[in-house]
Structure 1
Amino acid sequence: MQDALDSVRQFHAAMNAPISPHPTLLTCDRNTAVTCAKRVNALATEAMAAASEDDVLLRRASMALEELAEWLTAHVHGDLAAAADAWADRTYVLFGDAVVAGLPAAMLFGEVHRSNMTKEPDPMGTGKAVKGSKYRPPDIRKALTSNPENYPTQ
């Protein structure tokens, strides 16, 4: 996991996106974040209620949305420990999605990272990446069909 975090840190540095050297809460408009958390949580509840017993996709989507709502709520309440817990739970659910779907997570991440590093910083200074003239899209099909031993993760 450290390699993936280092890759994302490298990308953030290249895009002039925020990087914190220590655990911190993210700045937010609390009123908007509260509204978003409530809407995301309602969607999580709706997805779970709509999911049949064998609907793995909607059940997993509901879990992901619930953890996202917890992430937002923790920031609104200024609770760093709860935010860290919600982040870890979100990560666990995403890894679980890869396990359930049989996805080669490391290979997919490596391919997306390779592609992301061909993007450019937004000239508006938002910290968001944009697809410029050097952009090369990820080859997801290659990542899905490659032998793990022969595929670079960086």
Structure 2
Amino acid sequence: MQDALDSVREFHTKMNAPFSSNPTLLPSDRTAAAALAEKVSVLATETMVVAPEGDVLLRRASMALEELAEWLAAHAQSDLVAAADAWADRAYVLFGDAIAAGLPVVLIFQEVHRSNMTKEPDPLRTGKVIKGAAYEPPRISKLQTFDP
């Protein structure tokens, strides 16, 4: 996992995106974060209600939304410990998605990182990245055959 974190830090450094060496809450409008947390929580509940038994995708989507709502709520409440717990739960659900789908996570991550490193920071400083002339899309289909 440390290799993946180092790769993301490398990307953030190249793109002038924020990163911290110490645990901290992300800067945000607490009121807006609380409102969004509530909306995402409602969506998580609605998704679980409509997901038929055996619908793994919708049930996992509901879990992901629930954990995102907790991440947002922790920031709205200025609770760093709750934010850390919510982050870990989000990562756990995301890794669970990969396990459930049988994805070769390490290979996919490495390929997406390679592709991401060909992107450029937005010269307008919007915080986004752009696909400039040197951009190369990820070649995931070359890693393994994915049957539809």
Question: What's the TM-score once normalised by structure 1's chain length?
Answer: 0.92
Matched residue, 1:57: 57
Matches within 5 A, 1:143-154: 143-145=143-145
Mean CA deviation greater in 109-118 or 122-131 = 122-131
1:145 and 1:111 mapped to 2: Cα distance? Answer: 15
Matched residue, 1:125: 125
1:50 and 1:24 mapped to 2: Cα distance? Answer: 36
Give CA deviations for 1:36-60 in whole Å, capped at 9, x if unaligned.
1111111100110001110000000
Matches within 5 A, 1:87-126: 87-126=87-126
Mean CA deviation greater in 137-146 or 18-27 = 137-146
Secondary structure class of the residue paired with 1:96: helix
Matched residue, 1:30: 30
Deviation at 1:124? 1.7
Aligned-residue sequence identity (percent) comes to 68
Give CA deviations for 1:104-148 in whole Å, capped at 9, x if unaligned.
0111101100000000001122332110000000011112349xx
Unmatched 5+ stretches in structure 1: 147-154
1:120 and 1:15 mapped to 2: Cα distance? Answer: 6
Matched residue, 1:149: none
Matched residue, 1:150: none
Deviation at 1:91? 0.3
1:144 and 1:34 mapped to 2: Cα distance? Answer: 41
Unmatched 5+ stretches in structure 2: none
Contact 1:25–1:75 (CA under 8 A) maintained in structure 2: yes
Mean CA deviation greater in 120-129 or 106-115 = 120-129
1:136 and 1:95 mapped to 2: Cα distance? Answer: 26
Contact 1:18–1:127 (CA under 8 A) maintained in structure 2: no
RMSD: 1.2
1:63 and 1:3 mapped to 2: Cα distance? Answer: 26
2:87 and 2:126 mapped to 1: Cα distance? Answer: 23
2:80 and 2:35 mapped to 1: Cα distance? Answer: 20
2:137 and 2:106 mapped to 1: Cα distance? Answer: 17
Amino acid in the other structure paired with 1:19: F
Corresponding pairs, count: 146
1:130 and 1:46 mapped to 2: Cα distance? Answer: 35
Matched residue, 2:2: 2
